[in-house]
Structure 1
Amino acid sequence: MPAPLHAREEVIDRLIGVFRQYGYEGASLTELSKATGLGRSSLYHYFPDGKDDMVRAALERLGQWLQREVVGPLQSGGPPMVRLQRMLTTLDQLYASGGNPCLLGSLVTGASRQRFQAQLQSAFTLWIEALATLLVEAGLPEDTAHERAEGAVVQIQGALVVGGGLGSHAPFERVLKRLATDLLLKNS
C-alpha cells in the first residue's frame, strides 16, 4: 500500500474547515475530497465509516485544541482577568474576529446534533466548566460563576451566528471587548 499523501492531522484540519463552513449536511464528499486533496477512496482509507468518522475525528481534534488553547490558559497561573484575556485572544484568532464560523455551531444545527450530541455536549461542558472554575477562583459564588460561564459561551456563539447572518464582525468584536470585565463583576 502506498504511503499516505497527508498526515492524518492535516487531513482532519482541512475537514474541520469544510464542516465549519457547510455543517454536516452541506459537506458533500466532493467538497471534502477537494479540501483535502484526497480521492473518495483515500478519504475512506483514513475514515472507514465515512463522513461520521470524519466529524468524530474533527470533534476529537477540536476537543484537544479546546483543552490546550482555551482551558489551558484559563487554568494557568496569573490574575483571572489576564487568563480570560488569553482565552478571548485565542478565540478572536480562531474565529478571525468573527469572520469564521464555529465547528460546534455548525454541527449543533440540523440532524447532526443528535448524531454527535455526546461529543458536542462534552466540548461545550469542558469550556463552560473551565470558565466557571476560573470565576469561582475570582471570588464569585459557584452558581453565579456557572451561570455567567454558560452565558459567556452563549454570547460568543450567538455573536458568531448573528454576525455571520449580518455579514458583520461587529457583534463578535463587541462581545469579546466587554466579556472579561462583565464576567468578573462582583455585583451583577
Structure 2
Amino acid sequence: MNSKENAKTELVARIAEVFRECGFEGASLVRITKGTGLGKGSLYHFFPAGKEEMATAVLLHIHQWFATQIFVPLERDTPRDALNAMWRAVDGYFQSGKRICLVGAFALDGTRDRFSGAISGYFKRWITALDRALQRTGVDGATAAILAEDTVAAIQGALILARALDDPEFFPRSLQRLKQRLEDRLPPP
C-alpha cells in the first residue's frame, strides 16, 4: 500500500468513529473535520462526492475487515478453528461491547435506505459464512441456518444491551454464553 492509500485508510477509520459517535445525519462536515483533523478541502480531495462517499468508504472498510478476519476464515478454515477465531475477532473489534456496530446503527435509521446493499450484504455474508461453517462441522442445514441467524442477531442485541445498560462486562459475558450455546449444538469432533 502506498502512502496515499495508507492516509486514506487511516482517514476512513477516523471518519468511521465520527459516524459511530454522531450517526450519519449527525456527522456534519464540521464534526468530520474536527474528528479527522483535516480541512474541508482535504476531505473533498479524498472524497469529492462528500459525506455519502465517506460513508460508502467506511462501510466498505468495515466489510473488508470482517471479510478478512471473520467471513473468509469461516468460509475456508477448519470450521472449529474459524468459530473460535470469530468469537475473538468479534470481541476485539467491538472492544468488548464498548464500540457500537456502525453497520447495525446505519440499519436502524434513515441511512438504511441509502446504503441498503452494503448493510444487507454485510449481514447476509456473515450469516451465510457462519451457516456453512456450522454445516462443515456436521450440523444439518436447517439447524445451521437457524443457529447462524440467531447467533448474529444475538451478537447485535448484546452490543445494544451492553451500551444501554452501561455494563462493560455484559458483552463479554453474552459472547461467552453464545459461544457455549453454539458449541453445545456441534457434533463431537
After superposition, give the CA deviation of every residue in 1:28-66 in whole Å (9 maximum; x if it has no partner): 211111121111122112111211100000011111111
Note if contact 2:131-2:147 (Cα within 8 Å) is conserved in structure 1. yes
Q: State how far apart, in whole Å, the 1-side matches of 2:35 and 2:96 are.
A: 23
> What is the 5 A alignment of 1:88-127?
88-127=87-126
Paired positions, count: 183
Gap change, CA 1:90 and 1:125, over 3 Å in 2? same
Q: State how far apart, in whole Å, the 2-side matches of 1:68 and 1:112 are.
A: 25
1:146 corresponding residue in structure 2 = 145
1:158 correspondence with 2:169:
no
> What is the 5 A alignment of 1:34-73?
34-73=34-73
Note if contact 1:135-1:183 (Cα within 8 Å) is conserved in structure 2. no
Note if contact 2:137-2:186 (Cα within 8 Å) is conserved in structure 1. no
Q: State how far apart, in whole Å, the 2-side matches of 1:128 and 1:178 are.
A: 19
1:19 corresponding residue in structure 2 = 19
Q: State how far apart, in whole Å, the 1-side matches of 2:48 and 2:30 are.
A: 16
1:183 correspondence with 2:168:
no
Q: Give the drift of 1:86.
A: 0.8
Runs in 1 of length 4+ with deviation above 6 angstroms?
A: none
In structure 1, give the amino acid aligned to 2:151. Answer: A
SS for the counterpart of 1:7 is: helix
TM-score using structure 2 length: 0.89
1:33 corresponding residue in structure 2 = 33
Gaps of at least 5 residues in structure 1 are: none
TM-score using structure 1 length: 0.90
Q: State how far apart, in whole Å, the 2-side matches of 1:128 and 1:73 are.
A: 13
1:132 corresponding residue in structure 2 = 131
Note if contact 1:99-1:164 (Cα within 8 Å) is conserved in structure 2. yes
Q: Give the drift of 1:139.
A: 1.2
After superposition, give the CA deviation of every residue in 1:78-112 in whole Å (9 maximum; x if it has no partner): 3x333211111111111111111111122112110
Gaps of at least 5 residues in structure 2 are: none
